[in-house]
Chains A and B, each alone.
Chain A
């Protein structure tokens, strides 16, 4: 639907269009020139378009055409509203009692009101943010969208809960951020209001766990900076595959986990009754002779010296790919 042009001042601008005088109809007066001085950008996110134009003939009137419609008398400033998404063309010509601009001024633009989505994590850079308040996660950036999960401000280890932030958009008059979720089923994302999150922190590391090769590698800006053999989940309690992130570091007092353990957002599909909810960790071990192997309850086990070397290189918020 397309609204008729209105004067910028809000007055209806419609009048019966006069007959456009034919150029060169016997009067020696030159045809007036027309120039558009205000127009939307080539790609505009608004359904409203404002135009202003002028002529070299101060006494000239104007006739406007939108989307190849008829030329109608219009004031020197017009506003079109309820424009549909897509390509549009506006033309305006100055007219006098004896002549009309034979080459109307023209402006073409595209209305695109689709929500613009901006990446927050891309390439080698991943951003994370703390969860600043308990918040419901939605399937789309809308308060009315399906509820996916609820995020708490603390982890089961009583540290700050954090989420990897993937992209942002504006909807319903506020910013929304798509985040990776530490929930079952694994590999889910959802949208939360920006106001529910704290400030962003960027990391350039990525941890990759290869279950078949029973190996883990840490990349920094795409280059391997750490590599070690690993123990992964036994066949009856497999390490889940997918895209996750490190959300907590535990300086362990339990020798079974070695000296250091990292908690990820991955969840075991089998150990759901486990204290804390069955989160998958990456940690040392008291049983180094079992590495490499399919030996764990789902966690990624490392020899303690490898775990300690990793701890010096691995910041929280690092994305984890388990394949």
Chain B
């Protein structure tokens, strides 16, 4: 699989779209008093330095964090499944271990910051990209670069300074991930002097084209069973 995944699929679960719609909405005036949003998240996060004084955020900030959490869930589960599948070797395996842990912490951190507004973890189908090293590498490049551009695109819209600082702390780590995996793929880790942000719709399209967010699975029904009895 190359990193030129075509844009043609849909977010069947609706998780990203749902989060994105909240980001796109103009509801900056509505403030949510969530209390010590980042205070609890700081415990146990090691070197993840975020401003402790973050205490409240706007509805726009909540929506942006919900969107970010969905993307972090996607990345974290991608690496977790790749490690479970056992198809990675050498430096790529090390990359997956390190970056997977980062993404897991990011998702957890954003979830704590959101409190009750945290999003549910979608159901994923990685379509075999976690089961082959070359597919994994190509896909990891796409996911990391999308993540970098997504944070960059939303940063100017964040209302709360402390949340912006936290978002930038995540953003730079995502950029390190992108450079690392590009290097492992034999590509220039930093090809440009300036990176471009992605708009919300561009991020949505990038996620949707992967078709990694799966639709619902129905395993429970009601009525009269058809079994032999």
* A residues at B contact (CB < 8 Å): 118, 120, 130, 132, 156-160, 162, 168, 170, 174-175, 194-195, 198-200, 202, 237, 247-254, 256-257, 261, 263, 268, 271, 274-276, 278-281, 283, 296-299, 316
Contacts and interface: CB of A to CB of B under 8 A. Distances in A.
Contact of A237 (B126, B224, B226, B228): B228
| Most chain B beta-carbon neighbours within 10 Å: one of A200, A274, A278, A299 | A200
B227 interface: yes
Interface stretch (B31-39, B91-99, B105-113, B214-222): B214-222
Contacts of A199: 123-126, 214
B128 A175 contact: yes
Contacts of B81: 200
B191 interface: no
A286 B176 CA distance: 63
Nearest to A237: B228
A280 B226 CA distance: 9
B227 A159 contact: no
B44 interface: no
29 contacts: A118-B85, A118-B87, A132-B125, A156-B226, A157-B221, A157-B225, A158-B221, A159-B219, A160-B217, A168-B131, A175-B131, A198-B217, A199-B126, A247-B219, A250-B225, A251-B222, A252-B224, A256-B229, A263-B226, A271-B228, A279-B226, A279-B227, A280-B227, A281-B225, A281-B228, A281-B229, A297-B228, A298-B228, A298-B229
Contacts of B128: 174-175, 194-195
Contacts of A170: 132
B214 A198 contact: yes
Given A280-B227, A297-B229, A299-B228, A194 B217 contact: no
A40 B229 CA distance: 60
Interface of B: 81, 84-87, 123-128, 131-132, 214, 217-229
Given A170-B132, A195-B127, A198-B214, A275 B219 contact: no
B222 A250 contact: yes
Contacts of B126: 199
A248 B217 contact: no
Contacts of A175: 128, 131-132
Nearest to B220: A249
Contact of B228 (A158, A194, A250, A280): A280
A129 to B, nearest CB: 8
A154 to B, nearest CB: 9
Contacts of A283: 225, 227, 229
B132 A254 contact: no
A250 B214 CA distance: 23
A130 B217 contact: yes
A28 to B, nearest CB: 45
A195 to B, nearest CB: 7
Contacts of B223: 157, 250, 252-254
B228 A248 contact: no
B226 A296 contact: no
A103 to B, nearest CB: 30
Contacts of A280: 227-228
Nearest to A168: B131
A299 B227 contact: yes
Given A261-B227, A279-B228, A297-B229, A251 B220 contact: yes
Contacts of A200: 81
A263 B225 contact: yes
Contacts of B224: 252-254, 257
Contacts of A159: 218-221
Contacts of B124: 199
Contacts of A276: 226-227
B124 to A, nearest CB: 5
A276 to B, nearest CB: 3
Contacts of A299: 227-229
